[in-house]
Amino acid sequence: MAEARGHRVFEVGALCATFVLFAIAVARLAPSIDSVGELLGLAAVIAIGYLVADFATGVVHWLGDTVGDASWPVFGGAFIQPFRHHHVDPIDLTRHDFVELNGNNAIAGLPLLALATLYAPDAPYPCALVIAIVFFAMVTNQIHQWAHAPSPPRWVRALQRARLILSPEHHQRHHTAPFDRAYCITTGWMNPVLDRLLVFRALERIIEWIHPRLISAETAQRRAR
């Protein structure tokens, strides 16, 4: 219990630090954008960051579903178990509060965000890209929760219908047997490309070749069918 309380305090601190750093990053980037062309360039960088975040969340999601076992020390309980349990009880995600949902992502993104904020005036576009990726990756769990919520806010449903964020209809593809596609959960825009090219199937074969026991029992059973 004490460990859980300590981790929650750490999550709250990471979320507060993240929001402060985002504000500082914007303030440090603003002087570098002093023309319409630079503003358009920044918008393009943010759009690229959105796509990269979608791809990155797909890779992390695939790793959580596919590699390792929940009994592994450190990563098993903190990382692998939540992904596996989500397939058993998808609605459990909607029972998490804001801190539970976003705290771990904030912790993971803080080092990159701090570096990008520090160097933002010297390299505005690369740093803006990193900041955008961290921001969109951090809010992915919130977007994922909304995709499972029975009654999300109207403005959220409007974004889902416009496919600007992950929609329940698109995400249902991942929760339909054999549960081996549509891993990207920020917007889902990268899913058709990755699924058509069989990127994750190729990665599974590579991992099996490196060490068969790295593949989860669930994935091994699916591949054996």
Is the pLDDT assigned to residue 103 strictly greater than 90? no
User: Is the pTM higher than 0.85?
Assistant: yes
pLDDT tens digit string along 24-42? 999 999 888 888 888 899 9
In this prediction, residue 171 carries a pLDDT of 95
Mean pLDDT of the region 208-215? 83
CA dist 63 and 188 (Å) reads 17
Sequence spans of domains, the chain:
2-224
Nearest to 127, CA basis, from 50, 29, 52: 29
Asked, as a colleague might, if the bond just before 90 is cis with ω within 30 of 0, I would say no
**Nearest 5°: phi and psi at 191?**
-60, -45
Rounded CA gap, 204 and 222, in Å? 12
Alpha carbon of residue 63 to chain centroid: 12
Average per-residue pLDDT in the chain?
Answer: 88
The alpha carbon of residue 209 and the mean position of all alpha carbons in its chain are separated, in whole angstroms, by: 27
